[in-house]
Amino acid sequence: MHAVTDRCTKVARNFNMERLRNNYLFPEISARELEHIKKYPNAEVIRLGIGDTTEPIPDIITSAMSDCARSLSTPDGYRGYGAEQGDKELIYSIFSVQALRKAIAQTFYGDLAVRDTEVFVSDGSQCDISRLQLLLGSNVTIALQDPSFPAYIDSSVIIGQAGDFQYKTGKYRNIEYMKCGPKNNFFPDLSNTSRTDIIFFCSPNNPTGHAASREQLEQLVEFARENGSIIVYDSAYAAYITDKSPQSIYEIPGAREVAIEVSSFSKSAGFTGVRLGWTVVPKELLFSSGFPVVNDFNRIICTCFNGASIIAQAGGLACLSPEGYKAMLSVVDYYKENAQILLDTFASLGLKAYGGVNAPYVWVHFPGSRSWDVFSEILEKTHIITVPGSGFGPGGEEFIRVTTFGRRETILEASARLKSLFP
């Protein structure tokens, strides 16, 4: 508690901020890493925690961004504000005459009837999650996977959808936690799930790496239809799917009436620093009054956003050219090979690991252990940063998440260190 001084204003703190349990997960991990480096200044720390890409962006993509940036220094090439929803005029020889919104609709949604006018280009899916929260407001009820990406919970708390944090259960009141673990094939028991207005669902899931099957998603869509709920579906890792699991919620019949999909170029194209994503809001998705959700989201975007950088959008167009798309997926394959190395490592140690096949994360089980204790032991003895599973919700206790983003030599070194810790 901070002491009150004469220098305080008369403005009360947002009460919802006081409900947040602790620091956001990843800055907390960075702080612990800094403490570790101070303790071991000569240690070579391996970062397999925060899911940040490491491989260079293919030249065909960066060349397009470079050309766009240079054109801004010319009278004919300079441009100011673009369309908030995504550029409809940006044209480069690398990708004929198609605009980014249309290219996203055609490349990622093919014959799924997604229109370019339903695609909203943004600066990343995490930013869009917060914009969607602003759209939905504080009076809706929410459900989410447990474990799940912490931004869903934290944004729900900040906007006022959640109640107080319950230390005994590790959960917030007024949030429906849908347990997703090995015992239920990482999919919630919907027969025992309470009805909520909004369902946050990520597939392939962060942190577990599980990609929901077609049958599972059919159940989810039907559940939402029966309850009149809206699914906010995060498909940021869809490019990593190698089996027949759906890459989009719109592959499921009826999903256009109940689902919003957010996605990103961050983990498929290495745009974690470039910042480019999109959200799809179908015309058929309606509020209880019959008003189209897309109309309100368009207003949110126009009010809160001035559009993604045209340089980033040029890179996005290059990603979706035939050559760029092939180059992008080759980097994805590189991370998948890293995943196999780590999966083999944990298997050799007798540890049960999940994920790594359809997602760039390996979810490792340490039965009977607290995840922060496992995190600390691995960091102390091997100088490897991981992520404690409990940071993703109470369902993550006893697990750690290991990212497969990394240079090959780093992944191999991490494998060797882990084998020395768990001989």
The answer to whether residue 98 scores a pLDDT higher than 50 is: no
CA angle 351, 374, 381 (to 5 degrees): 95
Q: Rounded to two decimals, what is the model's pTM?
A: 0.93
pLDDT digits (tens, 9 = 90+) for 162-202: 999 998 999 999 999 999 999 999 999 999 999 999 999 99
- Confidence at residue 80, expressed as pLDDT on a 0 to 100 scale: 83
In a domain, 84, yes or no: yes
SS3 of the chain: helix, strand, coil, percent, to 5: 45, 15, 40
> What percent of the chain has pLDDT above 90?
88
**Distance in angstroms (rounded) separating the CA atoms of residues 266 and 406:** 15
C-alpha dist (Å) from residue 7 to 3, 13, 18: 11, 15, 20
- 132 and 267 fall within a common domain: yes
The verdict on 222 and 93 lying in the same domain is yes
Closest residue by Cα to residue 384 from 9, 111, 43: 43
What would the pLDDT profile of 26-43 be if each residue is shown by its tens digit? 888 989 999 999 999 999
Domain containing 31 — which CATH number? 3.90.1150.10
Q: Which residue has better confidence, 7 or 282?
A: 282
Per-residue pLDDT, 207: 97
Q: Are both 222 and 319 inside the same structural domain?
A: yes
Mean pLDDT, the chain, whole residue set: 93
Residue 4 domain-assigned (yes or no): no
The domain boundary, picked from 301, 323, 345, lies at 323
- Would strands 46-47 and 384-385 be described as parallel, antiparallel, or unpaired? parallel
The CA distance from 205 to 226, in Å, is 24
Taking only the tens place, the pLDDT of each residue in 363-393 is 999 999 999 999 999 999 999 999 999 999 9
Same domain (yes/no): 26, 78: no
Among 261, 293, 323, the domain-final residue is: 323
Q: What is the mean pLDDT of residues 148-153?
A: 94
Tokens in use for 328? 């992008």
Any idea of the CA torsion for 232, 233, 234, 239, to the nearest 10 degrees?
Answer: -160
The answer to whether residues 211 and 90 belong to one domain is yes
Domain with 338 in it: 15-56+325-421
Structure tokens at 287: 């509020």
Residue 303 clears pLDDT 90, i.e. is over it: yes
Has residue 195 been placed in a domain? yes
Where does a domain end: 291, 323, 355?
323
What would the pLDDT profile of 304-363 be if each residue is shown by its tens digit? Answer: 998 899 999 999 999 999 999 999 999 999 999 999 999 999 999 999 999 999 999 999
pLDDT at 94: 37
Question: Residue 10: inside a domain, yes or no?
Answer: no
Closest residue by Cα to residue 355 from 271, 243, 201, 274:
243
pLDDT (0 to 100) of residue 95: 36
In a domain, 165, yes or no: yes
97 band by pLDDT with thresholds 50, 70 and 90: very low
Task: Give 33-91 pLDDT, tens digit per residue.
Answer: 999 999 999 999 999 998 899 999 999 999 999 999 999 999 988 888 877 676 555 54
